[in-house]
Amino acid sequence: MKTDEACTRRGMWCDSEMKRQRNELNEVTVTLRALDMFCKQLQLHLSHNIDEVTITLAVKACQGDPKPECQIHGFAVSSGFASYTTISNSLMCMYTKAGQFDGPLLIFETMCYIDIVSWNTILSGFQTSEGALNFALRMNFNGVVFYPVTYTTILAFCADHEDFLFGLQLHSLIFKSGLDGEVFVGNALTSMYSRLRRLIEARSVFDEMANEVLVSWNAILSGYSQEGNHGLEAIFVFIEMVGEGMGLDHVSFTSAVAACGHEMSLELGKQIHGLTIKSGYGSHVSCMNDRNVVSWTTMISIDEEDVISLFNEMRLDGVYPNDATFVGLIHAISIRKLVEGEMIHGFCIKTGFLSKHNVCNSLITMYAKLESMHDSIKVFEELNCREIISWNALISGYAQNGLCQDALKTFLVATMESKPNNYTFGSVLSAIGDAQDISMKYGH
């Protein structure tokens, strides 16, 4: 039954997507005709036949071409059409999309009547969060009633931690205005909280949404996948998306594969890779135009056979690794027992990544698997703060190398400095079990 619902939803999504594309094509055709008509009317000196609608559509068709932009703007001013709010809004939108923000600001300040479209157009044109948020305060001071598109635009600028309180205030206003049920507003809130790594709040907003769309799912999925310790939640969200029959895109697949990298789940990563190819999003997950540290780290984490060559390619590509990159790289070296372990350790020292606990813990595990407990101990002793994960790595290393008494001694010291967890007890019990086998073998 669930499969039938998923297929139905997938079919509905495909139908709506095709309808949207047809509508866009029709709209482009109409606007291009309007621009052609406008130019011909000017050439034939029939400007009296040009009306407000023709100018608005012609402006929309310019698409960043400066020559018709200047002609239309000049005509609007000389003919008096610039006093029309719709014309001024269209001109501001035209310049904003072309990346020319001084023009829209000048038009805005000289307008006789300003509506919500005027305010929102200027708001969307800012390049910095400081300018956008100050303008939002000006809107509020002038008594402008915020529409859903206003909130979504402002929330997009609340990406920095210093803007978090502003975002919280907006969320409160959204709730009071009853717009928290709007899909686009919910998406913007989920994205904001995800970018700020407030995943509890992001999930809360997502769960309260009545109709989640692909953007909503991608927002929460990417939020989980960008945090190394939430990879499992990201995988569960992706599986749920597939079950719901969502029309997955490159954002969905990239986030899911990144989550597999965090969880060191090579098999699941390969399955998702296969689904990526079947869905037509390229033969390689890193087919994204933006080959950044996340995409490179993802590939290093799931492709254990080629980790060293991938790491070298990443450096040649001018991408600087982060701690997650080294964790994935060291894990692969540990599994395959590669000789490059010491080289990567040296690279971590040179680049200052030994200050990252997750990197040091990975090195402790790596040396233990390479049967070099002396180096594991050395990395452990150089830690400025020893968490239970570090103790676990050392205890497990002793157990794996048959140093059962050392494992037990380390466990006793660990319990005095940190609170042991299930993995701690599992490692020491494994060591005790091995020691018992040895004792029974030699009659002790």
Query: Is 301 among the domain residues?
Result: yes
Domain boundary among 364, 385, 406: 385
Domain total of the chain = 3
Same domain, 110 and 38: yes
Same domain, 12 and 97: yes
What is the rounded CA–CA span in Å between residue 31 and residue 218?
Answer: 32
Domain boundary among 385, 400, 424: 385
Q: By residue range, what is the domain housing residue 33?
A: 1-125
pLDDT (0 to 100) of residue 309: 86
Same domain, 335 and 397: no
Query: Is 408 among the domain residues?
Result: yes
pLDDT (0 to 100) of residue 143: 92
Query: Is 75 among the domain residues?
Result: yes
Same domain, 351 and 394: no
pLDDT (0 to 100) of residue 7: 52
Residue 252's CB is within 10 A of a number of other CB atoms, namely 25
DSSP per-residue string spanning 206-220: HHH-SS--HHHHHHH
Same domain, 411 and 302: no
Query: Is 329 among the domain residues?
Result: yes
Domain boundary among 81, 104, 125: 125
Write b or e for each residue in 112-136: b if 16 or more Cβ atoms lie within 10 A of its Cβ, otherwise e.
Answer: eebeebbbbbbbbbbeebeebbebb
Same domain, 2 and 121: yes
Query: Is 277 among the domain residues?
Result: no
Torsion of CA 33, 36, 39, 40, to 10 degrees: -100
Tokens found for residue 93 = 């939108």
pTM of full prediction above 0.95: no
Query: Is 333 among the domain residues?
Result: yes
pLDDT (0 to 100) of residue 18: 46
Same domain, 437 and 326: no
Same domain, 371 and 406: no
Query: Is 200 among the domain residues?
Result: no
Do 200 and 171 meet the contact criterion of CB atoms below 8 Å apart?
no
Query: Is 278 among the domain residues?
Result: no
Tokens found for residue 317 = 């590509």
pLDDT (0 to 100) of residue 285: 45
Same domain, 372 and 420: no
Same domain, 366 and 441: no
Torsion of CA 95, 25, 81, 121, to 10 degrees: -40
Averaged pLDDT in 10-residue chunks for the chain of 444 residues: 50 51 46 56 54 68 63 70 81 81 87 91 88 92 92 85 80 88 87 85 87 85 78 86 82 79 68 76 50 73 77 85 85 81 88 86 91 92 87 90 88 88 83 56 38
Write b or e for each residue in 16-27: b if 16 or more Cβ atoms lie within 10 A of its Cβ, otherwise e.
Answer: eeeeeeeeeeee
Closest alpha carbon to 151 in 205, 106, 188: 188
Same domain, 347 and 369: yes
pLDDT (0 to 100) of residue 144: 92
pLDDT (0 to 100) of residue 222: 83
Q: Helix (H, G, I), strand (E, B), or coil: what is residue 324?
A: helix
Q: Helix (H, G, I), strand (E, B), or coil: what is residue 301?
A: helix
Same domain, 17 and 111: yes
